[in-house]
Chains A and B, each alone.
Chain A
Amino acid sequence: AQKVTQAQTEISVVEKEDVTLDCVYETRDTTYYLFWYKQPPSGELVFLIRRNSFDEQNEISGRYSWNFQKSTSSFNFTITASQVVDSAVYFCALPIQGAQKLVFGQGTRLTINP
């Protein structure tokens, strides 16, 4: 069965620190996609990234980077030089192949303190 585990329930760091959010997944699919979403206090889920299981290259977008390790079934998310505006709940998600549905992790609440 598809499953996403975000073991870190809450993380709190001081501004400008780097922080990594962990995501471990389980799937029986041979090809699959993984997603990260950000949910700021306003409530809206903001799409951050979609990664194809064929592509294990790390991705960088500004201060955000993602490390996909198929061998360990992990898709970790790092924020470099964190800012207060990065404070949010971050969700990792995995689609159920053919069922169009997303399975979400429990989310990691990230607090960046000034």
Chain B
Amino acid sequence: GAVVSQHPSRVICKSGTSVKIECRSLDFQATTMFWYRQFPKQSLMLMATSNEGSKATYEQGVEKDKFLINHASLTLSTLTVTSAHPEDSSFYICSARRTPGGGAADTQYFGPGTRLTVL
């Protein structure tokens, strides 16, 4: 199989604090991981592409200083929401690709998501 986990599944924090979300590929190595954000009843919005050992590539309009991404190993990527505010409340989902350089042929496997609520 291709299992991706995320931790925590839910987090509630106060405004101004930072929150770290972990994404792990459990049974395969993932050179590329993706971070998405999903608002209620909407589609997934890609935030950034995370490549192991290099800097993440952010989508237009996503603040890189606000959403820090680290992909330090082939099985772990982290997303840190810095100085979170209520408008950052959302459902964050990561995905991982199995094959390096597989391009469009590769399937992305998704984690269960993290629901962030900022008070």
Residues of chain A having any CB pair with chain B under 8 Å: 29, 32-33, 35, 37, 42-47, 50, 52, 91, 95-98, 100-102, 104-107, 109
Within the complex, what minimum Cβ distance (angstroms) separates A90 from chain B? Answer: 11
B35-57 vs A, Cβ < 8 Å mask (1 yes, 0 no)? 00000011110100100000000
The interface residues of chain A lying within 8 Å CB-to-CB of B106 are 95, 100
In the complex, A13 Cα to B115 Cα: how many Å? 29
- Number of residues from B at the complex interface, CB < 8 A: 25
Q: Does B28 contact A (CB under 8 A)?
A: no
A44 touches B113 (CB 8 A): yes
From known contacts A32-B104, A45-B95, A91-B44, infer whether A100 and B49 are also in contact, taking CB-CB under 8 Å.
yes
The interface residues of chain A lying within 8 Å CB-to-CB of B34 are 101-102
19 contacts between A and B (CB under 8 A): A35-B108, A43-B113, A43-B115, A44-B93, A44-B112, A45-B110, A46-B110, A47-B108, A50-B107, A52-B105, A95-B106, A97-B103, A100-B32, A100-B49, A100-B103, A101-B46, A102-B46, A105-B43, A106-B43
13 additional contacts (CB under 8 A) given A98-B103, A102-B34: A32-B104, A35-B108, A43-B91, A43-B93, A43-B112, A45-B110, A100-B103, A101-B49, A104-B43, A106-B42, A106-B43, A107-B43, A109-B41
In the complex, A45 Cα to B113 Cα: how many Å? 9
The interface residues of chain B lying within 8 Å CB-to-CB of A46 are 110
The residue that B43 contacts in the complex, of A29, A91, A97, with Cβ under 8 A, is A91
The interface residues of chain B lying within 8 Å CB-to-CB of A91 are 43-44
The residue that A33 contacts in the complex, of B32, B41, B91, B104, with Cβ under 8 A, is B104
The interface residues of chain A lying within 8 Å CB-to-CB of B95 are 45
In the complex, A37 Cα to B49 Cα: how many Å? 19
The interface residues of chain A lying within 8 Å CB-to-CB of B93 are 43-45
The interface residues of chain A lying within 8 Å CB-to-CB of B41 are 109
